[in-house]
Amino acid sequence: MTAPSDARARGTRLPRVRRRRQLLAAAQEVFVARGYHAAAMDEIADRAGVSKPVLYQHFPGKLELYLALLEEHSEVLVEKQREALESTDDNRQRVIASFRAYFDFVAGDGEAFRLVFESDLRNLPAVREKSEETFQRCAELIGAVIRQDTSISDEEAHLLSIGLVGMAETSARYWLNNHGSVPKGAAEQLVARLAWRGISGWDLHRAAEEQD
């Protein structure tokens, strides 16, 4: 670990756009490894093989740098989720694809998911809002599917999707932290099955269950 990423040749100059990309990559590594607060601008600069003022020529401040990354990866997650749900018309497969999307997201891109799911800056309104918005958008995508194919009320469908998204997020994160205990495919399938059993045929058996 602690691969220096791009500390190559402390003396190479880069065109502006290229440098910016690289700075973002370095920042991601540091923010992911240390969290927002423990991350130092000096370390990010070092990691990029550059001095601090360079960082400030590309981003007005630490916060903006962080927000840029948060924004980017939030968008990736929502997009993955959208693709998953559009990938098929079979709802059962949809559930599986949706969970796989979460696991993929968590497994991918240098653990960037920690920015979205485990940010230590949620107390800042801007960050909290972004986080919740991302969460809501995912839930809404799923909620739309549920509503479309059942007679569940809007409010109930929404709450159910919230629960499902929470399950996906939590189990994906858990799976990643305990790599090796269960292979990815199996974990996805298992949790997806739990979800599918939960929602499939909700209307049908509802009356019966209401009896209790």
Give min distance, CB of 17 to a second copy, in A.
31
The angle at the Cα of 162, spanning 156 to 166, to the nearest 5 degrees, equals: 150
**Partner interacting with residue 12 (select from a second copy, DNA, none; CB below 5-8 Å by kind):** DNA
Token duo for residue 126:
């801007």
Q: Are the C-beta atoms of 107 and 176 separated by less than 8 Å?
A: yes
**What's the min distance (Å) between Cβ of 111 and DNA?**
20
In total, the chain counts a number of residues equal to 212
59: DSSP letter: -
Would you count residue 182 as binding a second copy (CB under 8 A)?
yes
Return the one option of DNA, a second copy, none that residue 122 interacts with (CB less than 5 to 8 A, by type): a second copy
Counting residues that bind DNA (by CB under 7 A) gives 24
CA-based nearest residue to 131, from 147, 145, 142, 120: 120
Unique residue bearing structure tokens 């739309």: 144
Which residues, numbered 21-60, are part of the site for DNA (CB under 7 A)? 38-42, 49-54, 56-57
Residue among 101, 103, 93 nearest 187 (CA): 103
Beta carbons within 8 Å of 157's beta carbon, 6+ residues apart: 143, 146, 147, 150
Residue from 78, 106, 138, 164 touching a second copy (CB under 8 A): that is: 164
Contacting residue, 181, 207, 208, 211, with a second copy by CB under 8 A: 181
Q: What are the residues binding a second copy (CB under 8 A)? A: 34-35, 37-38, 92, 118, 120-123, 132, 155-156, 159-160, 162-167, 169-171, 174-175, 177, 181-182, 187, 190-191, 193-195, 197-199, 202, 205, 209, 212
Q: What are the residues binding DNA (CB under 7 A)? A: 10-16, 19, 38-42, 49-54, 56-57, 61-63
